[in-house]
Chains A and B, each alone.
Chain A
């Protein structure tokens, strides 16, 4: 019973949602839209569960003074502080001068930007490590990467002799082999998605349903 009901529900709802594409009637869409909105509401409600999970995982480590408990304490204080400040600020919390706005501008924005900025350094180290001409395919990848990198910036256009042609060649690499490969990945992934979707709808895949 515990696994039969979810399987039947999955089949019926899955079939219904697939039918939306083939049955254009507005009445049908009203129901599918309702189901999608229920999904959004469920996902929003799950945020509370996420909050409890954060506290459930980290608070015992702080109380028991486990390894790195200090970081967890900082995380819990930040969580509580942001919640309180956000609720306190209410609808005007984004107005200039508000504490929540201050937190956003001087804590969230710099931290977010810093994490993204790490990519510049990590790309350099990953590229240095990975782009080695070990075989023919790796060499082609290496050469294409160098051409695209140099042609994307004004430096490439300013190079003597090749500066004029380099951006054109780069555009050809991006427009022809790159797009061809991406389309192949899209088509393969789309077919894989259809297959996976059908497996879930038909109840062939059940591991997402939990223990019997």
Chain B
């Protein structure tokens, strides 16, 4: 009998749930106030862990997750719908060490099923807390702070250089042949009595390349109006068409020829990529523009547009920051603006001191980044990844 009792005790101990684990619940650094990180210590692995949660003061437990026996942490997002279920002030958690992993298919009360299949190893309370400012200081990822400093630095430098330019200081901008060619192209089109085709890319208005293209379109349309030529703008996105219409109208107005603007020259073709491409090709074949300007974000249609323009013997100037399309533009166009040159066009064309100063400010930041790259590479090679830490960004 004694042996049987001992055997039973041994069997119970073998499958007995773990002794009380230590559960900690903390808000992760730089979080949005909707996350809590759970972690616990336990020497033995049970069959599994069940994690239950309820708002403090409530008995309505819900099962968060059933984890494997070797798990020791869980990230909990307390709510995914802040409108319907805004986060509570604090949450209670129960960590259940499972004797067996329950089958929860077709179970209504999953929390009760988990409790029945194990015993509570630990409880804790956690308060979601949003960080006031994401600087990365707590998690030692200083990237966000550095980014904030860079943005402020660019803004301050822009003001400083603009003041310098206004006071008469000369600012050197290196010659960019592609941008010079825009004015030459407009002149060529005027001489030939043919229009200029402007394609602002195929991406949405909120894309920064489309915004840059709209800014350039303003300058280009003003020059076109001064030369008393025509500009056709071919748009893939309807809202881009509406903004282009306003921009070109403003350009004509600034040049002093408001009545010369023909709204039918700013066209929405199609929001479908290749239908847009076919439509724009049709414009090139029928209206035979002397100059084609492709500035913005392009995808697979870039080469088709550029080749059609080549057959039409147009001068072609392209500019995009989309690295995958640059080779096609370089192969098929007369001039290509690569990456940041696209963002420099409006400043280059207008020579407005405030715009030119922004070019200079971003160049200084670029220099800073290059120095960090070189120094960081050297330091990391010798085992000191300090610069890496400075630029690293947490998951957030």
A residues in contact (CB < 8 Å) with B? 18, 21-27, 29-30, 39, 42-43, 46-51, 53-54, 56-57, 67-68, 71, 111-112, 115-116, 118-119, 122-123, 125-127, 129-131, 182, 185-189, 191-200, 202, 204-205, 207-212
Contact = CB atoms under 8 A, between A and B. Distances in A.
B33 A26 contact: yes
Contacts of A71: 282
Interface residues on B, range: 35 or more
A107 B204 CA distance: 26
A24 B134 contact: yes
A115 B304 contact: yes
B273 to A, nearest CB: 8
Interface string B298-325: 0011011011001000000000010100
B264 A115 contact: no
Contact of B239 (A29, A43, A186, A187): A43
Given A46-B238, A50-B268, A191-B340, 5 more contacts: A24-B31, A25-B32, A115-B274, A126-B332, A193-B321
A112 to B, nearest CB: 5
B277 interface: yes
Nearest to B155: A198
Contacts of A211: 246, 249-250, 253-254, 258
B82 interface: yes
A207 B33 CA distance: 40
A31 B169 CA distance: 44
Nearest to B243: A208
Contacts of B331: 126-127, 129-131
B65 interface: no
A93 B226 CA distance: 51
10 contacts: A25-B33, A26-B82, A56-B264, A125-B307, A130-B332, A198-B154, A199-B358, A207-B218, A211-B250, A211-B258
A113 B338 CA distance: 29
A193 B359 CA distance: 11
Nearest to A39: B206
B208 A193 contact: yes
Nearest to B301: A115
Interface string B143-159: 01001101100110010
B242 interface: yes
A212 B252 CA distance: 12
Given A39-B206, A126-B303, A204-B354, A22 B148 contact: yes
A209 B267 CA distance: 19
Interface of B: 30-34, 82-83, 87, 130-135, 144, 147-148, 150-151, 154-155, 158, 204-206, 208-209, 211-212, 214-215, 217-219, 237-239, 241-243, 246-247, 249-251, 253-254, 258, 264, 267-269, 271-272, 274-275, 277-278, 282, 286, 300-301, 303-304, 306-307, 310, 321, 323, 326, 328, 330-332, 338-344, 346, 354-355, 358-359, 361-362, 365-366, 369, 396
B215 A208 contact: yes
A115 to B, nearest CB: 4
Contact of A26 (B130, B278, B301, B326): B130
A205 B148 CA distance: 22
A200 B212 CA distance: 9
B33 A210 contact: no
B300 A119 contact: yes
B267 to A, nearest CB: 5
Nearest to B129: A25
A198 B215 CA distance: 13
Given A49-B238, A185-B339, A208-B218, A54 B328 contact: no
A198 B347 CA distance: 13
B323 A182 contact: yes
A24 B396 contact: yes
A119 to B, nearest CB: 6
B134 A23 contact: yes
Contact of A188 (B212, B249, B330, B340): B340
Nearest to B240: A46
Contacts of A192: 212, 321, 339-344, 362
Contacts of A48: 238
Contacts of A27: 33, 82
User: What are the nearest 3 A-B pairs in CB distance?
Assistant: A207-B218, A50-B238, A192-B343
A191 B133 contact: no
A192 B366 CA distance: 10
A188 B238 contact: no
A12 B251 CA distance: 26
B303 A119 contact: yes
B241 A207 contact: no
A115 B278 contact: yes
B211 A196 contact: yes
Nearest to B252: A211
A50 B235 CA distance: 10
Contacts of A24: 30-33, 130-131, 134, 396
Contacts of A53: 238, 241, 267-268
Nearest to B217: A207
Nearest to A53: B268
